[in-house]
């Protein structure tokens, strides 16, 4: 049973009809347990089938439904209408990404950046299959677990002013994932990853604004991951200058 109505101002971009983006307003029935995604699905089902947006799991684990809700990056499956009711809600595509259509953004740059940091276990020497799995203690897992929670939703990219100013900046999620693998006891690829992230458009471009961690729906805390990589790289450099064979250079 609807308990009222609520207005959604949805950003539209349809280059085959209009050159610039514009807004459409929809009045959707409101229920206390509805999320933005429910409202968008209602709009698409009942009011305007051409509204285009991404979603999948509707429970905050796939990272598909990131959008700007009232100018903040949110997962629309996890943002309740009751947070804003009865005021209208503005829904726009994720900031700092090119817009393909309506609420869908082009994620190619992110995919390219992710590949650059090699987010997988790198081994110098692979153990033989017969020796079994690489074992880890709970303490070893705890070291990187937080940073493995990233769902690649890119809310952190929408929140980061450095991403806005410098499109080449690797960005919070990518560096946090590099950090996750650097901390993994099974991994031996720290040197390779340092070459990928200890660059002008990597960790050094970050100025610890911290908004990425505020936006993150999974408490990954990418800001802290980046700062720790800065510390690690600086100490590695100092050590490699003092000890001729030291450091991970």
Partner 1 sequence: MRRGNPPDPPSLGDVLDWSEASEVRPGQRRPRPRGPQARLEAMAWGLFSAGGFVAAVLLPIHVAILGIAFAAGWLPDKALSYSRILHLARNPLTKVYLLAVISLPLYHWAHRFRFAIHHQFGIHLRRLVAVACYGAAVAGTGLAVWVLLRI
Partner 2 sequence: MTPDGRRRYPVYVPQPSRTWWLKSGPYRRFAAREITSMFAAIVSGLLLAFLFALSSGPGSYQDFLRLLETPGMAAFSAVILAALLYHTATWFRLTTHIVVIRLGQRAVPRSALLAALLGAWIAVSAAVAYFHIWF
> Which member of 118, 166, 210, 224 binds partner 1 (CB under 8 A)?
166
Site string for partner 1, 116-145 (x = CB under 8 A): ------------------------------
d(CA 231, CA 225): 10
Query: Applying CB under 8 A, does 219 fall inside the site for partner 2?
Result: no
**Residue 208 binding: pick among partner 2, partner 1, none (C-beta 5-8 Å cut-off by kind):** partner 2
Cα 160-162-165 angle, rounded to 5 deg: 120
The rounded Cα 202 to chain-centroid distance in angstroms is: 16
Taking every pair of Cα atoms in the chain, the longest distance, rounded to a whole number of angstroms, is 73
Single out the segment in contact with partner 2 by CB under 8 A; choices: 78-86, 90-98, 119-127, 190-198.
Answer: 90-98
Single out the segment in contact with partner 2 by CB under 8 A; choices: 37-45, 76-84, 160-168, 236-244.
Answer: 160-168
Q: Tell the smallest beta-carbon distance from residue 93 to partner 2 (Å).
A: 9
93 contacts 155 by C-beta, under 8 angstroms: no
Task: Give the pairing of strands 5-12 and 104-105.
Answer: unpaired
Distances (CA, A) of 228 to 130, 221, 225, 231: 36, 11, 5, 5
Nearer to partner 1, 28 or 107 (CB): 107
57 contacts 64 by C-beta, under 8 angstroms: yes
Judged by CB under 8 A, the chain residues 219 through 248 that form the site for partner 1 are: 230-231, 233-234, 236-238, 241
List of residues 6+ apart from 132 with CB closer than 8 A: none
**Residue 112 binding: pick among partner 2, partner 1, none (C-beta 5-8 Å cut-off by kind):** partner 1
231 contacts 208 by C-beta, under 8 angstroms: no
Query: Applying CB under 8 A, does 27 fall inside the site for partner 1?
Result: no
Q: Tell the smallest beta-carbon distance from residue 173 to partner 1 (Å).
A: 17
Binding interface with partner 1 (CB under 8 A)? 15-17, 19-20, 98, 100, 106, 108-109, 111-112, 161-162, 165-166, 168, 195, 198-201, 204-205, 207, 230-231, 233-234, 236-238, 241
């Amino acid at each position: 049973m609807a308990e009222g109505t609520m207005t959604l101002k949805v950003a539209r971009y349809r280059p085959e009809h209009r050159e610039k983006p514009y807004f459409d307003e929809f009045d959707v029935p409101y229920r206390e347990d509805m999320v933005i995604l429910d409202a968008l699905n209602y709009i698409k089902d009942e009011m305007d089938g051409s509204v285009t947006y991404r979603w999948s799991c509707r429970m905050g684990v796939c990272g598909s439904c990131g959008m700007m809700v009232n100018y903040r990056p949110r997962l629309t499956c996890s943002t309740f209408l009751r947070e804003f009711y009865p005021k209208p809600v503005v829904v726009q595509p994720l900031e700092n990404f090119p817009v393909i259509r309506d609420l869908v953004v082009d994620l190619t740059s992110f995919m390219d950046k992710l590949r650059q940091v090699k987010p997988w276990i790198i081994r110098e020497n692979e153990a033989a299959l017969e020796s079994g799995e690489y074992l880890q203690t709970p303490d070893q897992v705890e070291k990187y677990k937080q940073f493995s929670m990233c769902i690649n939703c890119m809310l952190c990219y929408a929140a980061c002013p450095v991403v806005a100013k410098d499109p080449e900046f690797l960005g919070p999620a990518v560096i946090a994932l590099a950090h996750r693998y650097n901390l993994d006891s099974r991994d031996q690829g720290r040197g390779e990853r340092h070459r990928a992230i200890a660059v002008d458009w990597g960790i050094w471009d970050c100025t610890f604004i911290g908004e990425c961690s505020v936006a993150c729906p999974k408490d990954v805390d990418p800001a802290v991951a980046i700062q720790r990589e800065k510390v690690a790289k600086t100490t590695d450099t100092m050590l490699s200058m003092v000890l001729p064979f030291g450091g991970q250079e």
